[in-house]
Amino acid sequence: MVELILFYFWAAIIIIAAIFTVISKNIYHSALWLGLTLFGVAGIFVLLNAYFLAGIQVLIYIGAVVVLTIFVITLTKEITGKLEKQHNKQIIPALISCLLCVFLIISAVLKTDWATRIIHTTAEDKTAKIGNLLLTDFVLPFEFASVLLLVALIGAIVIVSIDKENENA
């Protein structure tokens, strides 16, 4: 029962904050709402007994991605200036297509017979298991992920750094 109440609490936070992320007129407010959405997702991870992922979610998404987004927003736009229009003219078609998407997926989910496949288990902390798997079965993807992060790091620096010769040209 407590689980259900907590679920609806986090779900309400996620959905309301996500809607404001998308419709907010000020892109800076939108980034703050995004932080709240990601925090709600961390709460959902706790409900799903994925404590390690909840920690990662807060550390990486709220701590890095949202902060980085806010940095870029402040670098690219005058916060105090007049607000430009943030949405294009496709609102109605976009609304229709995303409602169709919801309808399609939910009807597919409701038609599937999950009851026979669900396995009930007791809640446990799976962090140690994740660590074990990452360094045994998944060690190759793990190393690839680190290389990918290195490439992204260097790539971001190269893209953003100013090339003096090209700037004058």
Q: Binding to other proteins (CB under 8 A): which residues in 69-108? A: 69, 72-73, 75-77, 84-88, 90-91, 93-95, 97-99, 101-102, 105-106
One-letter amino acid at 21 equals T
In the complex, the smallest distance separating the C-beta of residue 86 from other proteins, rounded to whole angstroms, is 6
What region does 87 belong to: left with phi over 0, alpha with psi -120 to 50, or beta?
Answer: beta
Q: Is 135 a residue that touches other proteins (CB under 8 A)? A: no
State yes or no: residue 31 binds other proteins (CB under 8 A).
yes
Backbone Cα Rg of the chain: 21
Angle formed by the axes of helices 27-47 and 2-23, nearest 10°: 160
Q: Residue 67 interacts with other proteins (CB under 8 A)?
A: no
Residue from 64, 67, 79, 139 that binds other proteins (CB under 8 A)? 64
Residue with smaller CB distance to other proteins, 82 or 85: 85
Cβ neighbours of 67 (radius 10 Å): 13
Q: Is 84 helix (H, G, I), strand (E, B) or coil?
A: coil
Quote the least distance from Cβ 29 to other proteins, whole Å: 11
63 binds other proteins (CB under 8 A): no
Token representation of residue 146: 């680190």
